Amino acid sequence: MAARKLSEIAKTIRSKNAGVDKYTFDVIFPDRASYELVRDSGVLSRDAVCRIFGIDAARITDHVAFDPALAIKFTIARLRPSGSPGDTDIFGAQQYGPLLDIEVPVS
Amino acid sequence: MPASIQHGRSANHTLRIVCPNGHLGFAPIKAGSFRIGCDSEPDLICADSGSCDVGPVPLGSDTSSSPLQWQTDDLETMLIASRRLGVPMIVGSAGDTGTNSRVDLFVRVIRELARKHKLAKFRIGYFYSEIGTDLLRRRIDRGDAVTGLDGRPPLDLATVEATERVVAVAGIHPYIKLLDEGADVIVGGRSSDCALFAAPAIRQGFPDALAYLYGKLLECASFCAEPYGAKESVLGEITMDDVKVTAMLPEQRCTVASVAGHAMYERSNPFYEHFLGGHIDMSRCRYEQYDERTVRVTGPSYVPASELRVKLEGSGKIGERYVGIVGVRDPYTIANIDLVTGWARQQVAERFGDSGYEVHFAVYGRDAILGASEPRKATPAHELAVVVQGVAPTTAMAEEVAMIATRQMFYARLPQVKGTAGGVAFVLDEVMPASPAYRWTLNHTMRVDDALELFPTFVTEAGV
């Protein structure tokens, strides 16, 4: 089965703080076809997100497909609040890196 | 398609707001699109100036993360336009944190600007958002729980003790009160981003649901437009039936994708926006392209809260902080970098014991940014940088913790290392003072009887 990287399909892949205790991730697609392809493929499902980041499902506080924005959005509880000593991403802006290379089956 | 809202109102009863900046002072307002916004018949000019994103240090130490000059420049840009057009100006969450000192600072800057430009007399309204830790102690003592958000436990006395400063997050109420009292310029303490836009709309009778949505869409200025370009102005218009938002920079437009994409920005869930007094449910919102550069949104619903609970943000000091940086090029050392940092950590412990300080090593080139979530930590780069943070009760001790941890990486004992003259490369053979270390101690909510009780308002005059 053929596959393409998520970074080649999505228009925007970003992360940012959602408050001081969470990171939120937005993956936004350029059209409905690519949005539905990725949404239905399961490569960004709750289970998949747990595998990608090596975390327990309990740390995913929200996971939604947001039709009006053609977006898949999920939120992860931080291990320590933003900006505490030892935190290296105060804005949470570089947590999305592992999403770029996700292989999406395109058959 | 209808004519652009930029050139005129789309209904008889509307309220139009220009937002020039999503975080006033943090990076400068772009003048060109703001000028266009001011020429587009705005009824108010509004911008939020606060964010938790800057971390706990500014709130804890009662400082701004934005330079005073940039804050002054943005306030000057807005104030001159507001007085020239004769429309109110509202700034929320003054000076990044919305503490009392930041509100006072903005009021002072606005007074000085009024004198400098010889502006005709006008009224400045402002309110405070700080609350004392005594109030929190009393609540805990009488069993009125200060509830944790985002999985945090209820507030306990130990956490209150560890807290330096607390702000409560205001809703629309102090803004409405100050508008009622005739304020021409409002400087808000900490408040919900959407509140400063929703307040004038609700005051003029627009539906709550649309008014809060209006605020949600406008508060980050051009973040709701595309192509990406921050600090450009956007214009919003609310009617009894809808909210419209349009880009002011000719190269930008608001699209269904850009506006819907923004609606979920920085929120854990795209469907709900919470504030003092309730929340809006945006799950049934409809986004339509109204004209080429304008999006129309309808369909939010307003859900009043059964109990008034105000959000609290608190920061507590952990200690003084120093930082050191080293580089590593030897592949064997890179493969064993945890032994190197482990050695350094052990040297700190030999000097200071196992507690009473913190030392952190962030290994750039391997997993500094994602930590345990980094899927590629087994394949580090050919060069690493290790950033060391030492945190301790005194400056001298923090410096020594950081210095031991940094310098001892140079002396790390690896059994088969070829380079025996020094294990790391120093970009500076020193450690550097950093801001003291703080942490977010409060991300909680507290019951209030009255939405104004924590937010005293004041009105004063400026100008000549």
State the DSSP string of B18-61. EE--SSTTTSPPPHHHHHHHHTS--SEEEEEEE-GGG-SHHHHH
pLDDT value at B47 more than 70: yes
- pLDDT in the model for residue A71: 95
Other CB atoms within a 10 A radius of the CB of residue B101 amount to 16
- pLDDT in the model for residue B298: 97
Chain A contact for B370 (CB, 8 A cutoff): yes
When pLDDT is averaged across residues B237-253 and rounded to a whole number, the result is 96
Tokens (6 digits) for A22:
């969470």
Q: To the nearest 10°, the Cα dihedral for B197, B305, B273, A76?
A: 150
In sign, the C-alpha dihedral spanning B86, B87, B92, B95 is negative
Q: Give CA B273 to chain center in angstroms.
A: 16
- pLDDT in the model for residue B264: 86
pLDDT value at B265 more than 90: no
Chain A contact for B434 (CB, 8 A cutoff): no
Q: For residue B17, which of B38, B35, B43 has the smallest C-alpha distance?
A: B43
Residue appearing with tokens 């609540």: B139
Q: How high is the mean pLDDT of chain B?
A: 96
- pLDDT in the model for residue A97: 97
DSSP B117: T
- The per-residue pLDDT for range A20-67, each reduced to its tens digit, is 999 999 999 999 999 999 999 999 999 999 999 999 999 999 999 999
How long, in residues, is chain B?
464
What's the rounded Cα separation, in Å, for the pair B196 and B186?
9
- pLDDT in the model for residue B266: 86
What's the rounded Cα separation, in Å, for the pair B449 and B46?
28
Tell me the pLDDT band of A1, cut-offs 50, 70 and 90: confident
Q: State whether ipTM is beyond 0.90.
A: yes
Tokens (6 digits) for B214:
């209006």
- pLDDT in the model for residue B417: 84
The answer to whether B197 and B214 have CB atoms below 8 angstroms apart is yes
Tell me the pLDDT band of B421, cut-offs 50, 70 and 90: confident
- The per-residue pLDDT for range B71-103, each reduced to its tens digit, is 999 999 999 999 999 999 999 999 999 999 999
DSSP B191: B
Residues of chain A neighbouring B323 (CB-CB closer than 8 A) = none
pLDDT value at B2 more than 80: no
- The per-residue pLDDT for range B337-384, each reduced to its tens digit, is 999 999 999 999 999 999 999 999 999 999 999 999 999 999 999 999
Contact assignment for B369 to A81 by CB distance below 8 Å? no
Phi, psi torsion values for B45, nearest 5 degrees:
-125, 120
Q: A68 CB contacts (<8 Å, ≥6 apart)?
A: B256, B260, B263, B285, B286, B287
What's the rounded Cα separation, in Å, for the pair B96 and B77?
18
Contacts by A33-37, CB closer than 8 A, 24 or more apart: A34/A9, A34/A10, A34/A70, A35/A65, A35/A70, A35/A71, A35/A72, A37/A9, A37/A104, A37/A106
Contacts by B392-396, CB closer than 8 A, 24 or more apart: B392/B319, B392/B320, B392/B352, B392/B356, B392/B357, B392/B358, B393/B319, B393/B320, B393/B356, B393/B357, B394/B319, B394/B320, B395/B320, B395/B433
Residues of chain B neighbouring A52 (CB-CB closer than 8 A) = 375
Tell me the pLDDT band of B136, cut-offs 50, 70 and 90: very high
- pLDDT in the model for residue A3: 95
When pLDDT is averaged across residues B315-343 and rounded to a whole number, the result is 97
Tell me the pLDDT band of B263, cut-offs 50, 70 and 90: confident
- pLDDT in the model for residue B392: 98
Cβ under 8 Å to A: B residues 193-212: none
Contact assignment for A16 to B321 by CB distance below 8 Å? no
What's the rounded Cα separation, in Å, for the pair A31 and A18?
26
What's the rounded Cα separation, in Å, for the pair B103 and B89?
15
DSSP B297: E
- Chain A closest CA to B233's CA: distance in Å? 22
Q: For residue B35, which of B84, B88, B70, B106 has the smallest C-alpha distance?
A: B84
When pLDDT is averaged across residues B385-407 and rounded to a whole number, the result is 98
- pLDDT in the model for residue B87: 98
pLDDT value at B1 more than 90: no
pLDDT value at B202 more than 70: yes
The answer to whether B451 and B276 have CB atoms below 8 angstroms apart is yes
Residues of chain A neighbouring B260 (CB-CB closer than 8 A) = 66, 68-71
When pLDDT is averaged across residues B187-208 and rounded to a whole number, the result is 98
Contact assignment for B313 to A20 by CB distance below 8 Å? yes
Lowest mean pLDDT among B7-11, B43-47, B433-437: B7-11
- The per-residue pLDDT for range A5-26, each reduced to its tens digit, is 999 999 999 999 999 999 999 9
B-chain residue closest to A23, CA distance = B268
A-chain residue closest to B435, CA distance = A85
- pLDDT in the model for residue B420: 82
When pLDDT is averaged across residues B33-45 and rounded to a whole number, the result is 97
Alpha-carbon distances of B278 from B148, B217, B374, B400, rounded to whole Å = 17, 18, 38, 50
- pLDDT in the model for residue B322: 98
- Chain A closest CA to B229's CA: distance in Å? 14
Q: Where are the alpha helices (DSSP H) in B119-183?
A: 133-141, 157-161, 173-180
What's the rounded Cα separation, in Å, for the pair A10 and A104?
11
Tokens (6 digits) for A38:
């990725």
Q: What share of chain B in percent tops pLDDT 90?
A: 90
Alpha-carbon distances of B248 from B25, B37, B251, rounded to whole Å = 20, 6, 8
